Amino acid sequence: MKITSKLPDVGTTIFTTMSQLAIQYNAINLGQGFPDFFMSPELTSLVSKAMSEGFNQYVHMNGFPLLRERLAEKMKKLYDATIDPADEITITPGGTYAIYTALTSVLHAGDEVIVFEPAYDSYIPNITINGAIPVLISLQFPDYSIPWDEVRRKITSKTRMIMINSPHNPTGAVLNENDIEQLKAITAGTNILILSDEVYEHLIFDDLPHLSMLKYPDLLERSFVCFSFGKTYHCTGWKLGYAVAPGAFMNEFRKVHQFNCFSCDTPKQVALAEYLLNEEAYLSLGSFIQKKRDYFNQLMKDTPLIPVPSHGSYFQCYSYGHLTNENDMDYAIRLTKEAGVTTVPVSAFYKTAEDNKVLRFCFAKKEETLKLAVDNLARFYK
Ligand code: PMP
Ligand code: GLN
């Protein structure tokens, strides 16, 4: 029997590919973005407590009500946003699902979606599977800033959405006030929606503020904003997140959600509702992870790789173009095999594999892991 692929250009994600290679060659995995340190024992005991108290059946399809209320309180405190927990928040099985559901609920065949590259790997397939058209714009190397003039030139009557991601995976770039002003000016008076991927909202460094769409009513009114508990609480394997959007958009989102996932893990939502009262847990995250970035970058001075500044996320990019002409995929494979360190080649985040000879390293690791990895690299380059 023959089937026609809906995603003919898509293979296995780069994260799985590189993690498999790391296992195969017994390399230290600084590729796929996940912490190798333990999450909060207080939060895991709250999950056990919820299970033993009987929170083991389907929870409300839009998410545990108390969790949504606590999230609304948090968004009020952090961003002065007034979000209705009943109509404007839905708990999802991860940020990736929230993004897919948002796109699926609003995109029609032929709609154009502006995507900045390098782009998180799910964005373009999420657009094309809905029959919509990704309109690609490269962020400007090496600071990965948004070329707003090009954005203006690429807007057409079919532009339905602009996707943004700050702090940005894979580069660690963050939006600044000028970006927000440009976004406001470009979208004002149009029907253009915004998908804002803010899964790294707390993973922001150097005292920079996170410029969430939640802070700007004129942007929020046209936005789906997506978050991930996995990133905030060092539990990527929990696969829990949430989407925030104006009621009319969320209504469409929930039509798709109810027939796909319906409702998410109950005891974890109950635990998160209680743990959200601990503000320090998320407010201290930026400085906690920044220490890891700084430690890693300090160690990396023993290698000839050149850092590309990262101001947020789990990631730090390094360029190697002054050392060899090899393409970044080949180079990443060689580092795995010969240096015993796995990274992610940044060309994997471009549809046409644009190769600036940059590798992405995940520094959300124990200090000993980072030290072992950089020792391996230093030996390789000696
Ligand atoms: N967006 C970006 C930019 C990410 O890096 C991730 C991390 N995987 C996600 C979304 C999705 O996170 P989750 O694991 O919650 O689906
Ligand atoms: N977000 C993580 C990364 O960029 C991994 C997510 C995944 O493996 N799908 O590495």
Q: How many helices (H) and strands (E) does the chain have?
A: 15, 13
Dihedral pair phi/psi, residue 112, rounded to 5°: -105, 140
299/216 same-domain check: no
Cβ partners under 8 Å of residue 191, min gap 6: 160
Give the domain range for residue 196.
Answer: 57-280
Q: Is 169 in the pocket of ligand 2 (CB under 6 A)?
A: yes
CA distance readout (Å), 65 to 8, 84, 91, 126, 199 = 40, 11, 10, 29, 21
166/26 same-domain check: no
Domain count, the chain: 2
In a domain, 204, yes or no: yes
154/211 same-domain check: yes
Q: How far is the CA of 306 from the centre of ligand 1 (A)?
A: 26
Q: Which atom of ligand 1 is the closest one to the Cα of 241?
A: 15
25/80 same-domain check: no
70/210 same-domain check: yes
261/320 same-domain check: no
Q: Is 32 in the pocket of ligand 2 (CB under 6 A)?
A: yes
189/317 same-domain check: no
Nearest to 371 by CA among 32, 36, 20, 10: 36
Query: What is d(CA 202, CA 241) in angstroms, rounded to the nearest whole number?
Result: 14
190/306 same-domain check: no
In a domain, 51, yes or no: no
134/252 same-domain check: yes
Query: What is d(CA 103, CA 123) in angstroms, rounded to the nearest whole number?
Result: 9
As for ligand 1, residues whose beta carbon falls within 6 Å of it are 33, 94-96, 120, 165, 169, 197, 199, 228, 230, 236, 239, 241
In a domain, 45, yes or no: no
Query: What is d(CA 129, CA 153) in angstroms, rounded to the nearest whole number?
Result: 25
Helix extents (H) in the chain: 14-24, 41-52, 65-79, 95-106, 123-128, 148-154, 177-187, 217-220, 229-232, 247-257, 266-275, 279-283, 285-299, 328-334, 367-381
Number of Cα atoms under 13 Å in the Cβ half of residue 190:
20
**Are 314 and 364 a contacting pair, CB within 8 Å?**
yes
List the residue whose alpha carbon is closest to atom 4 of ligand 2. Answer: 33
DSSP, res 337: I
pLDDT tens-place string over residues 51-98: 999 999 999 999 999 999 999 999 999 999 999 999 999 999 999 999
Predicted local confidence at residue 353, as pLDDT? 75
Q: How far is the CA of 246 from the centre of ligand 2 (A)?
A: 28
- Supply the angle between the helices 266-275 and 65-79 in degrees, to the nearest 10: 40
In a domain, 112, yes or no: yes
Looking at the CA of 33, which ligand is closest?
2
162/213 same-domain check: yes
The answer to pTM > 0.95 is yes
In a domain, 6, yes or no: no
Q: How far is the CA of 337 from the centre of ligand 2 (A)?
A: 21
In a domain, 264, yes or no: yes
In a domain, 46, yes or no: no
Cβ partners under 8 Å of residue 334, min gap 6: 326
Q: How far is the CA of 31 from the centre of ligand 1 (A)?
A: 14
Domain boundary among 280, 307, 339: 280
Domain boundary among 280, 311, 346: 280
pLDDT tens-place string over residues 151-195: 999 999 999 999 999 999 999 999 999 999 999 999 999 999 999
156/196 same-domain check: yes
CA distance readout (Å), 89 to 13, 51, 196 = 29, 24, 14
35/173 same-domain check: no
CATH number at residue 334: 3.90.1150.10
Q: Which atom of ligand 1 is the closest one to the Cα of 15?
A: 8
Query: What is d(CA 167, CA 121) in angstroms, rounded to the nearest whole number?
Result: 15
Return the structure tokens found at 207: 């005292």
Task: Count the neighbouring beta carbons within 10 Å of the beta carbon of residue 298.
Answer: 11
pLDDT in tens, the chain (382 residues): 999 999 998 989 999 999 999 999 999 999 999 999 999 999 999 999 999 999 999 999 999 999 999 999 999 999 999 999 999 999 999 999 999 999 999 999 999 999 999 999 999 999 999 999 999 999 998 899 999 999 999 999 999 999 999 999 999 999 999 999 999 999 999 999 999 999 999 999 999 999 999 999 999 999 999 999 999 999 999 999 999 999 999 999 999 999 999 999 999 999 999 999 999 999 999 999 999 999 999 999 999 999 999 999 999 999 999 999 999 999 999 999 999 999 999 999 999 878 999 999 999 999 999 999 999 999 999 9
Q: Is 15 in the pocket of ligand 2 (CB under 6 A)?
A: yes
Return the structure tokens found at 273: 């509702």
Domain boundary among 280, 306, 321: 280
In a domain, 72, yes or no: yes
CATH number at residue 189: 3.40.640.10
